[in-house]
Copies of this chain bind each other. A is one copy, B any other.
């Protein structure tokens, strides 16, 4: 894999969570010049945005930008709607079943659209997104067929596509367990303490330890046999 990027520009969606940070590390390891893009879409966990900036700097992204979306009341998810609460203490079976309340309608479509526009401006053809097998179980827009459909759309939607360019959406974590993601994070030199996975952190940006994201993250660290420094810090 090393050198596949060969200095080519890439846009890497970076949320501030462990998965997208690991994805950035992997893209950099492949030799891409990585332009990190964080999208503030009104998520309640704003502490993620600070994490994204620290991760981009620590790993050596070429640039880091934040695009902001004010959905103007059109959202509908426990991640963006202050009137909804994030589910806590769910069992494995509950986490694995159906589409969670934390599903943000069309979120990855929106994130990839912004990344695509940015890629056109940068003349980049490679987009990276940290979706993975665990998300796969619940979110429709984390499946390989969704990413293929987006690549097809990108070809038809853009000046670059009309001129023969072919965008590729890389999702290196797609089929990985959380444990393997934690191992990869260590291999790319990511300090997990810089990342925040929690859907419902406190005012100081500390994880709740009880939402699906915290539960899955804890399992990943346990599986990898690594202590999570973000928990130790909290």
Contacts and interface: CB of A to CB of B under 8 A. Distances in A.
A234 interface: no
A222 to B, nearest CB: 30
A74 B158 CA distance: 15
Interface in A120-173: 120-121, 140-141, 143, 145-146, 149-150, 152-154, 156-159, 161-162
A140 B164 CA distance: 12
Contact of A69 (B67, B103, B119, B162): B67
A114 interface: yes
Contact of A121 (B74, B141, B158): B74
Nearest to A159: B99
A118 B74 contact: yes
A75 interface: yes
A74 B117 contact: yes
Interface string A92-119: 0000000100011111111001101111
A143 B117 contact: no
A94 B159 CA distance: 17
Given A146-B153, A157-B141, A72 B76 contact: no
A158 to B, nearest CB: 6
Contacts of A108: 157
Given A74-B114, A107-B117, A109-B113, A156 B162 contact: no
Contact of A74 (B37, B72, B106, B149): B37
A221 to B, nearest CB: 30
A120 B139 CA distance: 14
Interface in A1-52: 37
Given A72-B65, A106-B116, A120-B106, A153 B153 contact: yes
A20 B93 CA distance: 46
A119 to B, nearest CB: 8
Instruction: Give the 3 A-B residue pairs with the shortest CB-CB distance, closest first.
Output: A76-B121, A106-B117, A105-B120
